[in-house]
Structure formats: C-alpha cells, structure tokens
Amino acid sequence: MKQKRPKYMQIIDAAVVVIAENGYHQSQVSKIAKQAGVADGTIYLYFKNKEDILISLFKEKMGQFIERMETDIQKKPSAKEKLLLLIEEHFRMLAQNHHLALVTQLELRQSNLELRQKINEVLKGYLNMLESILADGKKTGEFRQNLDVRLARQMVFGTIDETATTWVMNDQKYDLPALAENVRDLLLNGIHQS
C-alpha cells in the first residue's frame, strides 16, 4: 500500500506546506522535493506526475476526514444532529490545520479544470454522505417532505464552503467552528421570520 511507504506521506505533507507558503503557482516540484528532503526524481517513484501529488494530497486529507466523519455521524441519532456534527467537524478540521485550509479553500482551486474534476471525484464521498443525511431526515420526518435533496445538498455545501472560504480570505482571524451552530440553524430554518 502506498500509505505504508513513509516517503509518500512525507511528500504529501511537504506539498501542503509548500503550497500554503508559496501559493499554488509558485509550488514547483523541486520545491516540494526539497521540503520533503528527497531528490526531485524521487517524487516520481511515488507519484505519476505533479497532478498526482495534488490529487493524492486531497484524497488522503479529505479521505481521512470523511472516514472519521462517517463513523462519528452514525453515532448521532437525528439528522439534525448529524448535520450539526458535519458542519462542526468540517470547520474544526480547517481550523486545526491552517495550512490545509489555505490549500483546499484557495490554492487548489487555481488548478486546471481536469485536476479540479478529479478533486470533485474525491468530494463525491462527502457529498454522498451529505445527501444521505438529508434523505434520512426527509424519511424520518425531520426535514420537509417536498425537499429537493440535490438542491438542499447544494445549499448546505455551498454555504459551508462559502463560509469557510470567507474565513480563510479574512486570514482565519475569527473562530470558524464557533459559527457551526448558527450555520446549521440558518440552514434548518432559513432566513425567514417564522
């Protein structure tokens, strides 16, 4: 397994640091190699090409997160609680790793379309989990019966993503996880006076 080889994660972690510190377009393979403490050529023993580093980076970091999430979420009895947990953990993950937050919310989005489509593949697991929560809530009667699950998923994800991006663009200077409950309530109840 890739993950077993120590240099694999070493290079991925180096890539996160280098991209966060230098920006996407100033993150040459040689810089990543230097940060990882390996030769340029060594990179290509572990990754097919530069793009593969970036996809793997996203896969590893987001993959770990999604796995943890799926376990944690099952423990929650209601869809509402599951939704809150999802938002909280998402925000917490970003807040706990400032470098990673910068890389996923800003830098990696500068990549070309092809790469971004591959990144979206990885995101699918996350989006599926989100749709499951919404569909479950609909089934249990917690959420509206006429809920358009796909549209609702776009609202939830769009809101989380926009909130996180705004936070990163403001130099992460306020407490993002603290917003989780407000965000969840807004998504649940909308902006309308009830």
Task: Kindly state whether residue 49 participates in binding a second copy, applying the rule CB under 8 A.
Answer: no
C-alpha–C-alpha distance, residues 156 and 41, integer Å: 42
Q: Going residue by residue from 132 to 171, which x/- string records binding to DNA, judged by CB under 7 A?
A: ----------------------------------------
Q: CB-wise, 68 or 150, nearer to a second copy?
A: 150
Answer with the entry of a second copy, DNA, none that 45 interacts with (C-beta below 5 to 8 A by kind): DNA
C-alpha–C-alpha distance, residues 58 and 16, integer Å: 10
Hey, what long-range contacts does 58-62 have (CB within 8 A, 24 or more apart)?
58/104, 58/108, 58/119, 58/122, 59/122, 60/3, 60/9, 60/12, 61/12, 61/16, 61/100, 61/104, 62/104, 62/122, 62/123, 62/125, 62/126
Task: Kindly state whether residue 137 participates in binding a second copy, applying the rule CB under 8 A.
Answer: yes
User: Nearest distance from residue 188's CB to DNA, in Å?
Assistant: 44
Q: Candidates 30, 96, 120, 128: give the one binding DNA (CB under 7 A).
A: 30
Structure tokens at 162: 């926009």
Task: Kindly state whether residue 178 participates in binding a second copy, applying the rule CB under 8 A.
Answer: no
Task: Kindly state whether residue 39 participates in binding DNA, applying the rule CB under 7 A.
Answer: yes
Task: Kindly state whether residue 126 participates in binding a second copy, applying the rule CB under 8 A.
Answer: no
Task: Kindly state whether residue 129 participates in binding a second copy, applying the rule CB under 8 A.
Answer: no
Q: Which residues bind a second copy (CB under 8 A)?
A: 23-25, 80, 106-107, 109-113, 116-117, 120, 134, 137, 141-145, 147-148, 151-152, 154-163, 166, 169, 179, 182-183, 186-194
